[in-house]
Amino acid sequence: MWTWILFGIIVAALVIYFIYSFIKDKISKKRRKLKQIELINKTEEYKKHIVLRLHFLIKHNQKLIDEFVPSIGEYKMNYIVDTARKYLIEKQKESDFKELIIDNIDAKDIFTNYTYLRDVRSTNWRNLKDVSEFINSRMFLIDEQVEKDNSELAQKEIEEFYNNEIQRT
């Protein structure tokens, strides 16, 4: 008799353990899935952030190059080139950039184009048709009405960065 009671307790304990393990696994899978969705959403937002900044960086840099006058101009050419590269390098050092762009396989296309811009002298950016097409296609996908505030913020950030670099030199 005692053996059957002991056997019943052991079987009940095993059933409870398996049910507990099953529920625990379901909860952890759900959490993992939610974290993955959150990471995907955060990555998409950051990709928009980077594309906006690249777009306005190229635009602002090209404006400075177009306005450049040798010897008598307001800026030296090495200032224009160095500031653009310095901005890209500083952006690349951000933890979000490392986590969401460099370490993310889904953002490989953005990182590839980003490195082209970083490694090519900014006076030659106009010749990088693939990068230009990539950024323009991404800008087309970004809803202008929704991203209006972000684009204004991106423009201000880049202009402030250039102005701060002017004051340092």
- What pTM was computed for the model? 0.79
Give domain status of residue 103, yes or no: yes
Give domain status of residue 69, yes or no: yes
Please compute the mean of the pLDDT values over residues 120-144 and round it to a whole number: 86
Give domain status of residue 7, yes or no: no
**CA separation (Å) from 42 to 18, 22, 107?**
36, 30, 12
pLDDT tens for 65-89 read 888 888 776 778 888 888 899 999 9
Crossing angle of helices 148-168 and 77-93, rounded to 10°: 120
Give domain status of residue 20, yes or no: no
The count of domains in the chain is 1
pLDDT band at 103 (very low <50, low <70, confident <90, very high): confident
Give domain status of residue 14, yes or no: no
**CA separation (Å) from 99 to 104, 110, 116?**
7, 13, 20
Residues 6+ away with beta carbon under 8 Å from 32: none
CB 110 within 8 A of CB 51: yes
Give domain status of residue 97, yes or no: yes
What is the distance between the alpha carbons of residues 53 and 62, in angstroms, rounded to a whole number? 14
What's the confidence (pLDDT) of residue 17? Answer: 95
Please compute the mean of the pLDDT values over residues 5-22 and round it to a whole number: 94
The structure tokens listed for 48 are 């928009």
Give domain status of residue 11, yes or no: no
Instruction: Answer whether residue 12 shows pLDDT above 70.
Output: yes
Question: In terms of residue numbers, what domain contains 155?
Answer: 36-168
CB 138 within 8 A of CB 53: no
Give domain status of residue 41, yes or no: yes
